[in-house]
Structure 1
Amino acid sequence: MSNSPDKTIASDSVAEFIGTTKRFGSITAADGLSLRIRRGEFLSFLGPSGCGKTTALRMLAGFERPTEGDVLIDGSNVSGLPAHRRPVNMVFQHYALFPHMNVAQNVGYGLRQRRPRMPKAEIAQKVAKALGTVRLSDFSDRRIWELSGGQQQRVALARAIVNEPKILLLDEPMAALDAKLRGEMQRELLALQRSLGITFVLVTHDQEEALAMSDRICIMGNGRIAQVGTPGDLYDRPRSRYVADFVGKANILTAEIIETRDKLVTVRLRSGALVAVQQNPDDSRAQADIAIRPEALSLAAPDAPLPVATATLPARVTHRTFLGDHTEYLLEADDLGTLQVNVPQQAERVSGGHDVGARVHVLWPEGTGLVLAADD
């Protein structure tokens, strides 16, 4: 992203990375990050292990100091400010709750450390309000080991929000939960963020979690920001092969660019088939990677009538997997390698499906797919 100031966004930003770099000896964990975090938004840092997302979060929290560049909160440079003096709170992956304290004591711990001391009655009032917010009002006297994983997470959230931070930081807080509970907690966490109006910044490697919860997602790779956008932008308009491959599933094919017309680009696949796909900013190359989502393709028997303006790719079914709302097909396409096609169950029932080993046509509608920018 650009370092140039944007007055509209800047006035509404609660935090900002400005050319922020963090090195650990010879290893660059975060490389020249430039990002504005908007007030009241739910932002996720998403990427594989070692991509720099946790380092970015820790620099925002104050647990790491940038080697170069700055970190701003509410317009003030906090790069040298320790964690306890920043208006942020953090929920850790394993919650970091005190086992020797009950729920109320855990939630009120930060308030009891304030100087000058806060009156006990005020602490009790704030703790009660925080526990009510996370629906744990009846659990104030419980010990931590008496709680389920989801309840422990709510205690960690209550302990964070009781201090009324400007930013709440979440370091993979649902990684230890089972799949069903994780889904429930995602919905609860999102509802909590909307009700409080606090900026939430989440670190996760789970793309479904980021897509489901975020207003915007910052995709990280090799310590750099690969792309920032809404979940819809990143899914429908990934700029590079890295982003297309990381967010959702995509068929990525190398193609020769033939011509550009009306925001569409005609490309020739290795099989010789010509398809028209959406344009990306850099179409001056002779070759480019093309991405198309599995659900954008469909299947037809070789003798079936074909829709107008649709390219056909001959293929053979190698795997067929029923997944409830859709059937996932893996195909060996002539001269193209493996393709994935996801067929909705309604369409599957109408066609009767295609058996493993069957010859089919993969249908590629005009204007579907996208030319990807080159990865750095």
Structure 2
Amino acid sequence: MSDKRADQPACDPDRGKKSVRQSAAVGTRDALGPPIPSSEITPRALYLRRREFIGGAIASLALGLPSPSNAEPLAFDKGPFGTTEPLTPKKDVTTYNNFYEFGTDKGDPASYAGKLKTSPWSVAIDGLVAKPATLALDDILKLAPLEERIYRLRCVEGWSMVIPWIGFPLSALLARVEPLGSAKFVAFETLVRPSEMPGQRGFFQPLDWPYREGLRLDEAMHPLTILAVGLYGETLPNQNGAPLRLVVPWKYGFKSIKSIVRVSLVERQPPTSWNMQNPREYGFYSNVNPAVDHPRWSQATERRIGEGGLFAPRRPTLPFNGYGEQVASLYAGMDLKTYF
């Protein structure tokens, strides 16, 4: 199966780094001047992280990789629901992506996403809510402490990764706007900016922009569902969905919509991009299910990126991507071959 098909959906696609613990700095006296205020002294931990970042940027240049020029270290705590599986190399996570707004080739997002302006950034939250709002990213980041969540990612194309995301539960954002009792689903939209997203330009388009996704409200409120703002201890690279993306680890990766600008609470199941493009191949739920094949390929096994390339042994696909213990109850009584 080719990894460059224009009719395959976007999944996104690093051991997590320690939190940046800022300690109290004390004033110090320079021999040539007055004491430096404590507020102006760089905490030691942050200084060391800065050296790591500079070293990483130099390494990226040496290897010919896109430089993480906008990456910044994040302060976070260790979150629940992690896995002990080996992490996918950061190089693969940031250079092997589907993000059709920048092109249909796996390398296009890393090649072209650098021009995307992610600051300032705001998200409109509207629909069936008591307190609709348009929140700046800085205000969104105040809703809940950041956590590291090491999740498996399974792409509908048959490959997988293990990524240490940095984010917080989506439920914190939804609680801020107070969903009404009539709200049953959550709809999401990605940015439309053809001047900075070359995949949105041209006469023939693989999808109808904006990219749209949706969850049932109970899926959105589940503690596994997060809004991610970073990976591998730093802010999200543009090609991975900066500055804010959804991560739903028990569903195929294209459900984890990137670069979100709108969240709407609605009563009826919202239209979603890949389901609109080909409803026979891409269902609304898109839970990882080895027993439900894609019409053009099996979903029984997967290829783990970073483990030897195309000829590496394939591994069995896990129901709900291995998160069945946490989420299977959401679908009790449903025929998952009909509601795929």
TM-score normalised by structure 1 residue count? 0.22
TM-score normalised by structure 2 residue count? 0.24
**Which of these two proteins has the greater Rg computed from alpha carbons?**
1
Q: Highest relative contact order (Cα 8 Å, sep 6+), 1 or 2?
A: 2
- Would you tell me which structure has more strand in proportion to its own residues? 1
